[in-house]
Amino acid sequence: MIKQYLIFSRIHTASLTIPVVMISYLIYGRDLWTLFLLSVFALLFHAFGFMWNNIFDYKYDKIDKYKQHFPLISGEINIKHAIYIASIGTVLTYLFGTYITYHHLVSFIFMNMAILFGFLYNIYNKKMSSSSLYISMSFASLIPMSMYLNDGVSTIVSTMMFFIAFLTMMYQISVSGNIKDMEVPQANLMKKLGVRLFANNIVFSNKAIAYSTVLRIMVFELIISLFYILSMKITSVVILTAMLSIPSLLFIITMIYHIKMINHARWDRDAYLSYMSKIEIFNYLTFATIIIPVLSIYAYLFFVLFPILWFAIFNRIMWGTVSFPKV
């Protein structure tokens, strides 16, 4: 039963939620206890948020042939029990977040926004093609929540971090997520922009290609600009150029998989899931590079290895594989 609840909470994908929150705090903070508390909050926020996502998506997932193995759909988890556990978990998460943000009003406000917009997304994500705005606001709010636990936070830096997360989630949900669910009868921005499944092929409209590509470029422009701002104390042009080459190379790799994903091709959902996973991974690795000028290359290596190990361990426990969850 524990395994089923791990699957139900999609705990394996917390491998990105936790380090993003940690990196956001470490831009200005160094208190290890606060860092630990934020990591626990990120885990709880992620787990119980995704439980609600599965609960609200129940009637849609029942008719999705790719999700019949989900514990809620297969009957391994009772929906009434699921609602009970998710409700208690959400209350505890809120109280824990309130404890962390006590005496930090801005952080407290963003913590509330993260939970509120998360619920709005879970309620409307199958009904409104614009619902990706809600989940993007939700996850992006975790960044200023973490950053404003410190004094002397730069408004410019925190705003840029917020929009990096916001635009990343917009891509992940409104592009990748909607492509993944092309066969499900639900609100879908990609369909609204003209993407179609036809004769076992997926055909992308110019609008969808332009929209998704602009999102990817905007994310990179913000990351590279933020990296440069955080590197202002580095006087050596050679060192700065070498450091900037890391996110630039990762962006190129991300764009290669993005281009593969938005090409007209035979519809193979597993192949598209593979592209989506690689885009998400390399985008995270690009984002994590901002820790290099703040701490060191060693800190960056930690934030590279941590999500890999987390993802691999929980995939092995949940799915019996190392890198390919059944989502």
pLDDT in tens, 248-287: 999 999 999 999 999 999 999 989 999 999 999 999 999 9
Alpha-carbon distance 319 to 172, whole Å?
22
Alpha-carbon distance 184 to 63, whole Å?
8
For residue 135, what pLDDT band results from cuts at 50, 70 and 90?
A: very high
251 sits in which H/E element: helix 237-261
- Decide: pTM greater than 0.95: no
Query: Could you report the per-residue pLDDT of 280-313, keeping only the tens digit for each?
Result: 999 999 999 999 999 999 999 999 999 999 988 8
Domain boundaries, the chain: 2-319
77 within 8 A of 44, measured Cβ to Cβ: no
Query: Could you report the per-residue pLDDT of 37-90, keeping only the tens digit for each?
Result: 999 999 999 999 999 999 999 888 888 888 888 888 888 988 999 999 999 999
264 within 8 A of 209, measured Cβ to Cβ: no
Superfamily of domain 2-319: UbiA prenyltransferase (1.10.357.140)
Share of residues in the chain with pLDDT > 90 (%): 76
74 sits in which H/E element: helix 71-74
For residue 170, what pLDDT band results from cuts at 50, 70 and 90?
A: very high
Q: What are the beta bridge partners of residue 203?
A: 196
Spatial strand order of the sheet with 265-266 comes to 196-198, 201-203, 265-266
Alpha-carbon distance 141 to 293, whole Å?
23
70 within 8 A of 54, measured Cβ to Cβ: yes
Is the pLDDT reported for residue 218 higher than 90?
A: yes
Is the pLDDT reported for residue 36 higher than 90?
A: yes
